[in-house]
Structure 1
Amino acid sequence: MDVAAELLPGRGVVHEFVTDEGAGVSVHAARDGTFELYTRCEDDRDTYRWRLRLTGGEAQTVATIFTARR
């Protein structure tokens, strides 16, 4: 999976990728320590279906869950 990263001057970094099912996903790591997770509409790259805003601690919890071995 290719992940593209773009610096947003004064705001942070956004990481973008497309899932195997074709969903566009963006993760914005803001300078204030918060994270926003977006999914893009297939027909309009600049329109998002939903957004989830997480604190740094919440993002760490999600990362731990995703990387936990079962």
Structure 2
Amino acid sequence: AALLDRVSGDELLAHLLVLHSLHPEPPERRAERAVERLRPAVRERGGDLEWLGVEGDVARVRVESGGGGCGSGCGA
């Protein structure tokens, strides 16, 4: 279990394992972890993400906008 955690935690190695269909985690869990990693950055900008799961070959995520438009990154 510890080895699997180290393998899937190394970004480069994880990408190589996905490329060769050898990654130990199922795609659903990898997608859920990606949403978890993005959530703080989205919340920082006033929005939120909700992981809804997988339906067939499609991962579903609800994105809520903070209502502030594009923020300060749009330029003027």
TM-score, with normalisation over the residues of structure 1? 0.30
Name the one with the larger helix percent.
2
Higher strand share: 1
